[in-house]
Structure 1
């Protein structure tokens, strides 16, 4: 599921690039930019690009962490700190999932729009927040389970296979 969400975010990024290029070309060649381009990009594409890949990044252990001191500790202490961090993160993302779902339902109920050069309905984009937060919540639970159950669990990201010339 995390890969599918990341793929949707990647497609949204590609569409954002195409839409921006088309807007610049249409504006410069014909003096007719795409109406509501900024609103659609900021309300839809950027939201999808930011929130949907969260779980994929978590499963790959590629979120930013400051673990310099933790790496100096014994392996058992590292795992304990990791599990405690997972518990705090689950609490945090659980609250975010719940609240953003309430906000998305309210937005749908009132058919929320943003004003710009055109009106843009934003409730569909607001659904991506609880979806992304729920996905990272599940990814953190999965990583926490692995940290507890697998003796050789290491939350470090994989080293990329890149040859530097």
Structure 2
């Protein structure tokens, strides 16, 4: 399972990186063409869609590397066994929270698909981008679940 989420999180990171590259090229090209008076139509929409993919693509891989911001002002004062229990509870709570987020974003994508809602300028369907964001949150949820299981098993091995 660890290997699966490693491959999945790296794949999402590559997708997010490709979206970031496309976003930068589009924004740069749009600025250059704006000078000539012929900017790309719908740049704002595309940049918004790509921005969502960039963020969703980075979530799981960033969690695997533990690169998210951690505020441990209070927990650093606790003894090691208490820290392990708090880590386990934290991973459990965040796993449940992001599981709900994944589900609700997917439901929202389904509503958009069924309604046939399109973007205003380019008439792009919203739902594929929403599904990608839901999948990114799903990958984050899976990584958080693995972190929870590791923290739980580490606590049991230490005799707690």
1:69 CA drift (Å): 2.0
Match of 1:64 in 2: 69
Match of 2:149 in 1: 145
- Structure 1 unaligned blocks of 5 or more: 152-165
| Alignment match of 2:30 (pick from 15, 18, 23) | 23
Paired residue total: 148
**Pairing 1:39–2:29 present:** no
Match of 2:92 in 1: 87
1:33 CA drift (Å): 0.7
- 3-state SS of paired residue (2:119): strand
Is this contact kept in 2: 1:40–1:120, CA < 8 A?
A: no
- 3-state SS of paired residue (2:124): strand
1:41 CA drift (Å): 0.8
1:150 CA drift (Å): 3.5
1:78 CA drift (Å): 0.5
| Alignment match of 1:12 (pick from 10, 13, 19) | 19
1:104 CA drift (Å): 0.8
**Pairing 1:126–2:130 present:** yes
- Structure 2 unaligned blocks of 5 or more: 1-7, 156-160
- 3-state SS of paired residue (1:101): helix
C-alpha RMSD of matched pairs (Å): 1.3
1:119 CA drift (Å): 2.6
Post-superposition CA distance 1:76-134 (Å, at most 9, x none): 11110011011111111111111111111111122221214x33321111112210111
Paired with 2:74 and 2:111, the residues of 1 have a C-alpha distance of 44
- 3-state SS of paired residue (1:150): helix
Paired with 1:101 and 1:69, the residues of 2 have a C-alpha distance of 35
Q: Which has the higher helix share?
A: 2
- 3-state SS of paired residue (1:52): helix
Match of 1:108 in 2: 113
